[in-house]
Structure 1
Amino acid sequence: MEDSRLAVSLAGLKLKNPVMPASGCFGFGDNKFAQMYDLNKLGSIILKSATLTERMGNPEPRVTVVEDGALNAVGLKNPGLSVILSKKIPELRSKVPNLPLIASVAGSTKAEYVEVAKALNDSGLVNALELNISCPNVHEGGMLFGTNPKVAAELTSAVKKVTNIPVFVKLTPNVTDIVEIAKAVADAGADGLSMINTALGMKIDIKTRKPVLGNGTGGLSGKAIKPLAVRMIYQVSHAVDLPIIASGGIENAEDVIEMYLAGAHAVSIGTAHFKNPTACLNLIEELPAKMDELGITSLQALIEEVRSKR
């Protein structure tokens, strides 16, 4: 049974709970993690990033587990916009007709971002967009758009001009001042933020003397980056008045509450699935008891309490 105390409002989206898989983790609702339970129990799903044409991704290996986390360099592998709109999302929507879906938009150029965003918006299949300007594992686009405030703002503004559903901008931690980037996209019309994406890292095999990942570098995620995520979310939430989807090392109910205290409105779960494939479902089930223990009447009340103390 749903617990109404978990319901949150996110830039006009009404979520029955704040828990969603991060982009890529459940594919388009068609991978092994997505098939382990009823997806209707989630608050939302952030879909795998879509690009205008098919991308094969980076060379193997693309993922390696490290201490307290994982490194990945998938490289935005996806079948391209046409297949995503004609097959992938319609198949998922048929399974979850009432679940808010957030589509992730990526590209190599501003024009590609705008075209993909407009097509997803106009399809009527999704309820919001996540603008991925923070992927560290591609050689064109991705993080290159998210490290310069002016470029990030111009892209956000261009996407907002062709869309009428909420646009969340996904921020990279690989910058000197994430608050500057957040302010820039907020001023450009972003409806919300998603943060943080992975931190750029590397692992070297001491036997082969070569990087473990085929791409050389990869994005570090998992418990190892949680303190970084908490700090950045706290700073940004004090600088801009936008809802934040928090990510970075969330594994249990305590982590969720900590993200709320930092300034989050919802959470997206990624690397935790490697340890526990039903991590999202478990969080939804664990949250009410943790809220009772901490005297939290509802998550929406907690959001308002944190905001009032800024």
Structure 2
Amino acid sequence: MSLATKFGGYTYENPFMNASGVHCMSTDELDEMDNSRAGSFITKSATTSHRAGNPEPRYFSVPLGSINSMGLPNQGIDYYLNYVLDRQKSHPDSSPVFFSVAGMSVEENLNLLKKIQDSDFNGTTELNFSCPNVPGKPQVAYDFEMTQEILSKVFEFFKKPLGVKMPPFFDFAHFDAMANILNQFPLAYVNCINSVGNGLYIDVETETVVIKPKDGFGGLGGEYVKPTALANVRAFYTRLNPSIKIIGTGGIKTGQDAFEHLLCGATMLQVGTELYKEGVSIFERLEKELKEIMEKKGYSTIDDLRGKLNSL
């Protein structure tokens, strides 16, 4: 029984990671991820310099998940780049980690990626095309022309492994159109999905919203979004070039949730809301539960089941 996953030329002990934005703001949190049972981890989506993010409260746990409008709080790219470069020197034999960037403009995205290209970072970079929680800014991935323009400019100079994090899509025509764009580029992976944007949760006792930014509108995560996440993983797995891997994110709370993402075609799995609620001990539990399901079903490796979802 093995949960080993091959990704980007490396083998990871298991497919589990944190979702960018959760348990990765500080070096202390990144160290905890590194020392956990997770197969790998990703840094907080970085901008050029430190961002305080949106006013609090900006995250709220609800019975079936979470709602947040964080506003990209982060320590700036140098903080995270120095961390991953130091880790490379101190752990030369470890599988490389993932580095997330999310510029507030096309120009900033290009500059962030140029900095990574010019550095000694040997891992995989994730370009966040889905930031639904920044007031006044649309999600890049919902502007198909902009998505194509950015990727065209990026791959003129960026030669390291690059993946993109996508918001959810809800229409077959959009799956088709976005896949046609993504297939034009040598992407390492597509991450499906970021939070479902602009939900609203109400506290009936106080008759108010539960987060401060955007009059209470925020991205939904957790159990709420799993069916949407699974649909996006499956839709892109069946449309993208086989060389483009899928990272499944959204609603992973149990080993069964992980199994479902893998069945839809995911190669690695990111955990957000439930990691926030449980802490890094969740990875040990998920690993155990996934192995139990695979053993019960007679699967000895993840490759035996990945993408094998049946239709009726």
TM-score, normalised via structure 1 length: 0.87
Q: 1:295 aligns with which of 271, 277, 298?
A: 298
Query: 1:45–1:29: structure 2 CA closer, same or farther, 3 Å change rule?
Result: farther
> What is residue 157 of structure 1 aligned with on the other side?
152
Write the mapping of 1:123-202 to structure 2, written as runs, cut at 5 A.
123-139=119-135, 144-173=139-168, 176=171, 177-200=174-197, 201-202=199-200
CA contact (8 A) 1:106 1:113 kept: yes
Aligned-partner Cα distance in 2 for 1:36–1:119:
24
Q: What's the offset of the Cα at 1:284? A: 2.3
Deviation, structure 1 residue 212: 1.8
- Give the distance between the partners of 2:89 and 2:119, measured in 1 at CA: 14
Task: Give the equivalent residue in structure 1 for 2:308.
Answer: 306
Letter of the structure 2 residue corresponding to residue 82 of structure 1: D
Structure 1 spans left out of the alignment, 5+ residues:
none
Contact residue 169 and residue 232 of structure 2 kept, 8 A = no
Mark the CA change 1:46 to 1:288 in structure 2 (over 3 Å): closer, same or farther. same
1:209 is displaced (CA, Å) by 4.2
Q: Is the 8 A contact 1:160 1:167 kept in 2?
A: no
Cα distance change on mapping 1:91 and 1:217 into 2, 3 Å = farther
Contact kept, 8 Å, 1:168 with 1:191, in 2: the verdict is yes
What's the C-alpha RMSD, in Å, of the aligned pairs? 2.6
Residues 28-75 of structure 1: per-residue CA shift (max 9 Å, x gap): 563558538824x43211110011122110011010012310011111
Q: 1:204 touches 1:211 (CA, 8 Å); kept in 2?
A: yes
Q: Which amino acid aligns with 1:68?
A: L
Structure 1 partner of 2:13: 16
CA contact (8 A) 1:132 1:170 kept: yes
Residue 219 (structure 1) aligns with? 219
Aligned residues: 302
Identity rate, percent:
30
Give the aligned partner of residue 253 of structure 1. Answer: 255
Residue 105 and residue 42 in structure 1: after superposition, are their counterparts in 2 closer, same or farther (change >3 A)?
same
1:6 is aligned with what amino acid? L
Equivalent of 1:116, from 108, 112, 119?
A: 112
Conserved? CA contact 2:70–2:133, under 8 Å: yes
Q: Are 2:61 and 1:65 aligned?
A: yes
Give the Å deviation of 1:135. Answer: 1.4
Distance 2:227 2:259 in 1: 14
- The answer as to whether partners of 2:141 and 2:166 remain within 8 angstroms in 1 is yes
CA 1:33 to 1:294, structure 2 compared with 1: closer, same or farther past 3 Å?
A: farther
Amino acid at match of 1:197: N
Task: Measure how far apart 1:175 and its partner are.
Answer: 5.6
1:173-232 deviation per Cα after TM superposition (whole angstroms, max 9, x unaligned): 166424422331232332210011001212233455443211131110001110111112
Offset at 1:104? 0.7
The farther-off stretch of 158-167 and 42-51 is 158-167
Cα–Cα, structure 1 residues 37 and 168, in superposed 2: closer, same or farther, change >3 Å? closer
Q: 1:129 to 1:251 in 2, by over 3 A?
A: same
In structure 2, the gaps of 5 or more residues are: none
Contact 1:108 / 1:140 at 8 angstroms: preserved in 2?
Answer: no
Aligned to 2:35: 38
Taking structure 2 as the reference length, what is the TM-score of the superposition? 0.87
- State the Cα distance separating 1:102 from its structure 2 match: 0.7
Shift of 1:115: 1.1
Q: Which amino acid aligns with 1:130?
A: E
Q: Deviations over 1:255-290 (max 9, x none)?
A: 111111111111001111244221123222333332
